[in-house]
Amino acid sequence: MCKLFVFLGILSALAAGPVSARTRVAQGNREGILHLGNGSELESLDPHLTTGVPEYNVISALLEGLIREDAETLEPVPGVAERWTVSEDGRVYRFYLRENARWSNGDPVTADDFVYSFRRILSPRLGAPYAYMLHGIENARAYNAGELEDVNAVGVKAEDARTLVVTLEKPAPYFIRMLNHYSFYPVHPPTVEAHGGAHDRTNRWARPEHYVGNGPFTLTSWRLNQSLRVDKNPRYWNADAVRLNGMVFYPVEDQQAEERMFRSGGLHKTDGVPLARVERYRRTNDPAFVSHPYLTTYYYLINTTREPFDDVRVRRALALALNREAITERVLRAGEAPALWFTPRGTGGFEPSQALGEDVAEARRLLAEAGFPEGRGFPRFTLLYNTRESHRLIAQVVQQMWRENLGIECELVNQEWQVYMVSRRNLEFDIARAGWAGDYADPHNFLDLHLSTSGNNHTGWFDPEYDDLIHRASGLRDTAERFALYDQAEAVLLRDMPLIPLYWYTRTYLLHPSVRGLTPNPLARRDYTAIWLEGSDE
């Protein structure tokens, strides 16, 4: 049923709107409308309730935080805040908001809007998965955990309408880089309150008919499993710099169908490239093919609350039985690197001292020690992945490696994105595919994912030693000292193996030559104010 649903959605997307799929790019070039493949249908456009890259691609067009990033250097640049200062002890940040920053309904963007938004995502009642991103703020962790009832004690204050003061528990050298993540984006308080309030997870404020944003574009329409359209926001503070008149995002999970849409003139940019086509694109130097490093780890989650995966020997056996080089060189073939630990190599200059490799003999020994010699008696289990051809191919290779090396069998199960995310959050799986794309270029962004307080830790595993290492590292201003603690944290992950790193990404997609100003970078950040279209296919 899931496959049929996706297929029907693709057919609807191809036929949607007054512009046929074969003339979208040509007409888009004339009208300044960019057509983009976006992978999966979105869970939500509420920045405090979602976690995915497809959602980021749209939300970052609709909302803007205190800072932005230079698309080429990834250095912080002014956003809603035209400037900021930091105290000598590194704890107090004072942001000065632009006088001409406006919501799409004309209301001024104020410091109180940010106070409301930060308090909202930290609310225990909302249960935001990314709330832990704000835990570095004074008393934020305690309030989010329900240990502190007084929200006024959280270190976020409006000194006046245009001055926001954020006080951290301790210095965090990466804090300013975090602020371009959508967990720090503001929401429009009157709109949120009008449709259910700050703590209502079913709040419909983020629907097209209600959405009020402060980014370069506004939400015009959203047809589920067909398309989502945004148009230029004339009230955006930097509207004069925005050269696109609009963008349309298409949720096409089938990469072969997406490639056909691109080749027939239906897309300016794809979300990816079918694995079977990557080698040909690279060999022929196709000008539409783009490939660049991407700060992302592909890995498998292990549900440590279920037998026999609650046994660390079983988890380590599963990890050691895999040949990662075979996956990157024979299946992916786009320059991906085998993941020898969790944090992508070189993130912020960090590289751990311990590495994970293939060791089939040790894997068999561990499995036998756990009571399953040569796999005998090991229960049949499931490997869950979200619908996409590349995930299926990788899962089949892993399935075969476990069968040949350990004598165990797993069943492959695929679910469309929204259902899959619910299964992950509820730990309704044995092993599940996952990917973590960097929100900012620092190892803390990858390692705080596995804290016991992280809303994105979908393994059931937590370790007090690990939590202590990450919390101690987060307050250190000396890079060498901080990285030494992260090194120990990576060692804990390799010791307990609540997840199995597989490879570090390379980003691949197809791009029409009329698209200008889209700068490839390791975080796949898009500066929508810099993108424009030229030429025509007609």
Query: Across the chain, what does the average pLDDT equal?
Result: 93
pLDDT at 73 over 50: yes
Matching residue, tokens 């225990």 = 124
Residues 427-465: pLDDT tens digits? Answer: 999 999 999 999 888 999 999 999 999 989 999 999 999
Residue 499 corresponds to which tokens in the numbers above? 């997840």
**11 pLDDT tier (thresholds 50, 70, 90):** very low
CB atoms within 10 A of CB 335: 16
Say which range, 114-128, 272-286, 392-406, 502-516, has the weakest mean pLDDT.
272-286
Contacts of 297 by beta carbon, 8 Å cutoff, 6+ apart: 339, 342, 343, 344, 435, 436, 446, 501, 503, 504, 505
SS3 415: strand
Strands 337-338 and 76-78: unpaired
In contact, 84 and 93? CB cutoff 8 Å: yes
Kindly tell me the burial class for residue 411, based on how many C-beta atoms sit within 10 Å of its own C-beta (0-12, 13-18, 19 or more).
exposed
**13 pLDDT tier (thresholds 50, 70, 90):** very low
User: Does 498 sit behind a cis peptide bond, omega within 30 degrees of 0 on the bond before it?
Assistant: no
Among 182, 221, 197, 250, residue whose Cα is nearest residue 15: 250
pLDDT of residue 19: 57
pLDDT of residue 123: 97
**23 pLDDT tier (thresholds 50, 70, 90):** confident
- Return the percentage of the chain with pLDDT > 90, whole number: 87
User: What is the SS3 assignment for 429-446?
Assistant: CCEEEEEEECCCCCCHHH
Q: What is the mean pLDDT of residues 318-333?
A: 95
Residues 355-391: pLDDT tens digits? Answer: 999 999 999 999 999 999 999 999 999 999 999 889 9
**537 pLDDT tier (thresholds 50, 70, 90):** very low
Task: Note the helical H segments in 16-110.
Answer: 24-31, 53-62
155 vs 146, 150, 436, CA distance in Å? 16, 11, 28
Torsions phi, psi of 504, nearest 5? -105, 135
Q: What is the mean pLDDT of residues 410-420?
A: 95
pLDDT of residue 10: 38
Domains of the chain with bracketed CATH: 2-254+511-533 (3.40.190.10), 292-507 (3.10.105.10)
pLDDT of residue 12: 38
**490 pLDDT tier (thresholds 50, 70, 90):** very high
pLDDT at 522 over 70: yes
pLDDT of residue 22: 73
In contact, 141 and 465? CB cutoff 8 Å: no
**536 pLDDT tier (thresholds 50, 70, 90):** very low
pLDDT at 142 over 80: yes
pLDDT at 525 over 80: yes
Q: 4-10: long-range contacts at Cβ-Cβ below 8 A with a sequence spacing of 24 or more?
A: 5/225, 5/416, 6/225, 6/253, 6/254, 6/387, 6/416, 7/254, 8/225, 9/41, 9/224, 9/225, 9/226, 9/251, 10/252, 10/254, 10/257
**9 pLDDT tier (thresholds 50, 70, 90):** very low
pLDDT of residue 6: 35
Residue 293 corresponds to which tokens in the numbers above? 């490093």
Contacts of 18 by beta carbon, 8 Å cutoff, 6+ apart: none
Among 231, 186, 235, residue whose Cα is nearest residue 528: 231
Residues 254-277: pLDDT tens digits? Answer: 999 999 999 999 999 999 999 889
In contact, 413 and 272? CB cutoff 8 Å: no
pLDDT of residue 20: 67
pLDDT at 467 over 90: yes
